[in-house]
Copies of this chain bind each other. A is one copy, B any other.
């Protein structure tokens, strides 16, 4: 039904999020559906008791501040804690380089707002995180894509693209959403060197960096970028804007994430954030600080790793056991997702209704390709379902796929 409102919406709303995938995914919350579609952390690992204690402490000792407006930059002790943790990972920054955001989705939106002029080209992996596309579509962006393989973004194809004029490079180096693939150290170095050579900044999105289940830690891109700089400048002044989140290591219901960037970028982000939501929930920042500050956090992250590693292993085993020949999948060393590729003649969007009928769900891969493609791919989340349901769900999914072979 066409209403008078339809003529009033801004042009940009034509490119803000198609709702097709949303409508599709609503089906996945039907009862009894084993859903590998979401990107949800397992509620079993939420530290509920610790949050209860934190709420008691925060409200008793500083309730008047926790319930009040806060500064746009974020709660200072939390910013300092994040800066200090970044130091452990090899990047020397101060709290001035940290902005607290309302989930890392807001970080992406604000980065779009301060960087993207209509028509600007952004380089993204293909496939890439859907939420980034949703955030930046509103700013009239053009995507230049770069393919991936088992070592992540094909940096051998990067230079040709940088020559075309790129506003920034968006990369998820660790256990990428949606593919689960990790960018190798060699490629990270190459990425940093080329980005610096062409004067193109990098946005590094690292929600899962601490959730590695095997293999060796690879330094974040922001650290490798920092290493190639002169250490004569004592303040952080790199070419990389780094974002991470409490959603996967504490609780997404807090909507708490952060950006690490040179202070002049933080200042612009702060101005943009003031117009976007004034400040991130003070209460939640106080709670997160109370919960995450101290040695408990490392133990907690270890628990999450063990839980998710088991689920990943079960999913890999289930795929091995049930999937027919011709189906391939990635072997993520961490994170929440793996990526399955079916024979080329099978469209995962077309088999989706049959899967939901069999009470199993996934995200069809096409959603993650900004310029199309990936019709025979799907994203499977392994963090949210208990092991026995993962086995059963993959079994059902394999049965559906076999019908289409």
The chain A residues found within 8 Å of chain B, CB to CB, are 3-6, 8-13, 16-17, 19, 22, 38-41, 43-44, 46, 48, 51-52, 55-56, 59-60, 63-70, 102-103, 105-106, 108-109, 113-117, 120, 131, 134-139, 167-168, 199, 201, 237, 247, 251-255, 262, 264-265, 267-268, 271-272, 274-284
Contacts and interface: CB of A to CB of B under 8 A. Distances in A.
B138 A272 contact: yes
Given A8-B167, A10-B113, A40-B68, A255 B271 contact: no
Contact of A43 (B12, B68, B247, B252): B68
Contact of A41 (B41, B68, B115): B68
A277 B247 CA distance: 12
A16 to B, nearest CB: 5
Contacts of A167: 8
Copies per assembly: 2
A10 B10 CA distance: 19
Nearest to A257: B277
A67 B252 contact: yes
A17 B271 contact: yes
Contacts of A264: 3, 5-6
Given A252-B282, A254-B283, 8 more contacts: A16-B114, A43-B64, A43-B67, A102-B277, A103-B277, A106-B276, A131-B274, A253-B281
A275 B137 contact: yes
A211 B66 CA distance: 22
B11 A40 contact: no
Contacts of A265: 5
